[in-house]
Each structure stands twice: as structure tokens, then as C-alpha cells.
Structure 1
Amino acid sequence: MESDVRLTALLEELAANAWPAHEQQTLGKWRLRATFGTTKRANSVFAVGPFPACDDWMTVVEDFYQRRSLPACFCVSDASPAELDGMLAARGKWMNAM
């Protein structure tokens, strides 16, 4: 099971690198991505790996997207923290399973 998650994380990283967003800001291992509001993939948090170490990571995410007049969206996959889905649902954030 652990090797499946590592493979998923690697494939997602390769895909994100092959088709990067216009703007990217790192937040721990995550990437905040924005590309003129064109697609949800290009305008979402690449949430692969553990939660960011800073306690106010959600505020950082919301501020990043608010400054660009975009909703804070997350791409959630098997390589995302298991608790992320529930946290986002409780906050009413849009989620996309990859």
C-alpha cells in the first residue's frame, strides 16, 4: 500500500512539472497554483505530501486565492493527507479526487 502512495505521488509530481501553472507558490511540499482562472487543475492546491508545517496554512491558501479573485480549491488524491477531505468538507471547500 505504501508503495502505491509513493507511486501516485511520483506520477502526480511528474504531471505537475510537465504542465505547470502560470503562478506557483510552495507551501511545504504543497503548491498553490494559479493560471488566470482557466481550469480547476491549474487554479488549485497541489496537495501531495504531508500537511504544511505552519499552523496557519489554510489562511495562507485562502489569501493566495483571494488575492487572485479565485476560490480556494484543492486537488485531493491518495497521496494527500487522509484527513484533508474531511477538513475541507467541514469548511465547505471544493475538492477534486485525482
Structure 2
Amino acid sequence: MDVDRTLVRVVQTCHGFPSQWNAWTVSGRYLYLRYRHGEGSVEWHRGSDDADDTPETWNAGLSGLLVEWDDGTGGGDIDFEHFLAAAGLALAPDAVVA
């Protein structure tokens, strides 16, 4: 599945170990961004409040893993700009980041 990688809204949900964010793309898809122990990941889902959007639905093609990486540092926090670069994501010019 081709998932849009341009973010229009981002909310940081954890500032430390781990660093994590909820994000929405230009096309309205919800992404869960996480970085812990030097490992980053981006999961895509139908929506952040879909009650039936669980790991079990991933096999049905309704959610999945967009990208993951290990930077070898074992770190627990990362600034958002570095996360975007490592994940291959971009902010839209009018994006709201909170």
C-alpha cells in the first residue's frame, strides 16, 4: 500500500523514553511514530480512534508497518527533525506541530 508521507498535524504524546507522536497525513491517514532503544518505527492505521483497528486487523490490510530502523545508539529520545529524516517523512508547509 502506498502511504502518504507528508504530515499536516503532529502531536507529541511522549517526550522522553520513548519519544512518540501521533500524526496525520495530507490524505487523512493516522500514523503512530515511535523511537525507543535506538529503534524507530512508523505504523499506519485507519484512524487513531477506530476501536477495531488492532494488530489483528493488520493482516486484513487495514494497518501496518510503514518503516522501521535501528540507529545503533540504544537511545530513548530523538528530536522530531531527526525522526522525520530517518523515517523519510516530511512536514507540509502549513503543518501544525504540538
TM-score, normalization by structure 1: 0.28
More strand by share: 2
Q: Which has the higher contact order (CA 8 A, sep 6+)?
A: 2
More helix by share: 1
TM-score, normalization by structure 2: 0.28
